[in-house]
Amino acid sequence: MSVGLVVVSHSERAAEGIVEVAAEMGGDTTIEAVGGDGHGGIGTVPGDIEAALSAADSGDGVVVLVDLGSAVMNAEVAIETSDVDAAIANAPVLEGAVEAAVAATSPSATLSSVREQAESAADVDKV
Amino acid sequence: MTGAGTAAVAAVERVATRLEAERDHLTELDSAIGDADHGGNMARGWRAAADAAADVEDPDAATVVKTTGKTVMAEVGGAAGPLYGGSLVFASAELDEGLTPESAVAFAETYLEKVQDRGDASVGDATMVDALVPAVHTFKKSIETDELPPVEALAKAVEAARRGVDFTVPIRASKGRASYLGWRSVGHQDPGATSTLFILEALLEVAQEHGDVTVADADATSPTIPDEDV
């Protein structure tokens, strides 16, 4: 059992790219990428996010990283309708995914410890 | 008079037809301040919802509304999916015991609450909330205080929503995609408030047909200002 991650972006390719970066630091953490409007365009769909939550969950819950606006709302809807114990991290999507991936490799990782670590990414200065 | 479930199916169909007719209009409004997808998304999503609603066997109002919401949530995309669809699914529970003036008020209030909660928007942010809040408050006041027939109450609510849409033009958007434009959003009518009005207008048409009542001219020039801070 371990905490899983889901990365939600308006662009499926962006989500996959962020997962690619985060996985470098994430050991064997399960990280699912989800994005796109389901019709090949930019957007997010709650059903797809719900499926990603199930795929990422191994019983310890899932921390969700989101990009903008409707990704947040659709992730909220997906969490409400899903049986998976999941929480959205209030963090920038890429930096938060990297922090969460690192935190999830800890043997004592919990849903809240991974979420907190992801949210610490909000304070990262670039210059 | 027809059953509420049948009327609900007809209402979703009317909404879909209206949004298809307004597709270019909504897209035009959205291209001024957003990403120009509101018309296409709403028309496509509500058409799918109307088809799904028509397939509900032995329809009751709650099931039709819930089916509509789920389909809108899955098909509309963007923020409109959870805002219009998710809120319908959530509020549909208020109709579980059937459609009455009281349950209609409860449904409207729950829908509004969910939209505000999910979108984190208040009156004056230039969003659909600016059409919804006056509409829901006017509907509630017309039913509970003025004891008007439901169709008349709905007609007043539509009028209130229409003025709410006009209110979005001169103000600055502070939620949603348009907020990225800052002051440049001033002077533009909000697409979400506009499509909300179209939905309410379609509901009123069907309510008038199925209730066998016509309301000539609703006078909503002095709408109720809600007491609580909204």
SS3 annotation, B55-120: CCCCCCHHHHHHHHHHHHHHHCCCCHHHHHHHHHHHHHHHHCCCCCHHHHHHHHHHHHHHHHHHHC
Within a 10 A sphere around the Cβ of A45, how many other Cβ atoms?
Answer: 26
Stretch B92-109: mean pLDDT, rounded?
Answer: 96
- Of all residues in chain B, the percent with pLDDT exceeding 70 is 91
Of the candidates A121, A122, A112, the residue with the CA atom closest to the CA atom of residue A88: A112
Q: What is the separation of C-alpha B179 from the centre of its chain, rounded to a whole number of angstroms?
A: 21
Average pLDDT score over residue span B179-190 = 88
Q: Do B82 and A37 touch (CB under 8 A)?
A: no
Q: Please, which pLDDT band fits residue B1 given cuts at 50, 70 and 90?
A: very low
CA distances from B121 to A7, A34, A126 (A): 25, 26, 31
Which residues of chain A are within 8 Å of residue B73 when distances are taken between CB atoms?
46-47, 77
| Average pLDDT value over all residues in chain B | 90
Both tokens of residue B182? 């800052």
For residue range A69-80, what is the model confidence (pLDDT) as tens digits? Answer: 889 999 999 999
Give the number of beta-carbon pairs within 8 Å between A and B: 44
Alpha helices in A1-127 (DSSP H): 12-23, 46-56, 70-81, 93-104, 111-119
Query: How far off is chain A from B94, nearest CA to CA, in Å?
Result: 18
Neighbouring CB atoms inside 10 A of B101's CB total 16
> Which domains does chain B carry?
4-210 (1.25.40.340)
Is pLDDT at B228 greater than 80 in this prediction? no
Can you tell me the mean pLDDT for B197-204? Answer: 98
Q: What is the pLDDT of residue B182?
A: 84
pLDDT digits (tens, 9 = 90+) for A64-117: 999 988 899 999 999 999 999 999 999 999 999 999 999 999 999 999 999 999
User: How many Cα atoms within 13 Å fall on the side-chain side of residue B185?
Assistant: 24
Query: Is the ipTM beyond the 0.85 threshold?
Result: no
- Optimal mutation site among B73, B92, B115, B117, interface A, most CBs of chain A within 10 A: B73
pLDDT of residue B212: 58
Domains of chain A by residue range: 4-122
- B210: Cβ contacts below 8 Å, ≥ 6 apart: B1, B2, B6, B7, B10
**Is the separation of the CB atoms in B162 and B134 below 8 Å?**
no
What is the CATH topology of the domain spanning A4-122? Rossmann fold (3.40.50)
% of chain B exceeding 90 in pLDDT: 73
The answer to whether B86 contacts A70, with C-beta atoms less than 8 Å apart, is: no
Averaged pLDDT for residues B94-112: 96
Chain B residue nearest residue A75, CA to CA:
B82
pLDDT of residue A59: 95
Q: What are the pLDDT digits (tens) for A9-54? A: 999 999 999 999 999 989 999 999 999 988 888 889 999 999 999 9
Query: What's the pLDDT score for residue B144?
Result: 96
Question: Could you tell me which residue, B122 or B91, shows the higher pLDDT?
Answer: B91
DSSP designation for B224: P
> What's the angle, vertex CA B160, arms to CA B157 and CA B165, rounded to 5?
125
CA end-to-end span of chain A, whole Å?
A: 38
Does the pLDDT at position B86 exceed 70?
yes
The pLDDT score that the predictor gives to residue A125 is 87
* Residue B174 CB-half CA count within 13 A: 10
How much is the pLDDT for B215? 53
Give residue B151's pLDDT. 95
- Asked if residue B69 lies in contact with residue B85, where contact means CB atoms within 8 angstroms, the answer is yes
Would you state the structure tokens that stand for residue B114, as one six-digit string? 């969910």
Which comes out higher in pLDDT, residue B221 or A50?
A: A50
Asked if pLDDT for residue B230 goes beyond 50, the answer is no
Output the six-digit token pair for B76. Answer: 């509309």
- Per the rule left: phi > 0, alpha: psi between -120 and 50, beta: everything else, B187 is left
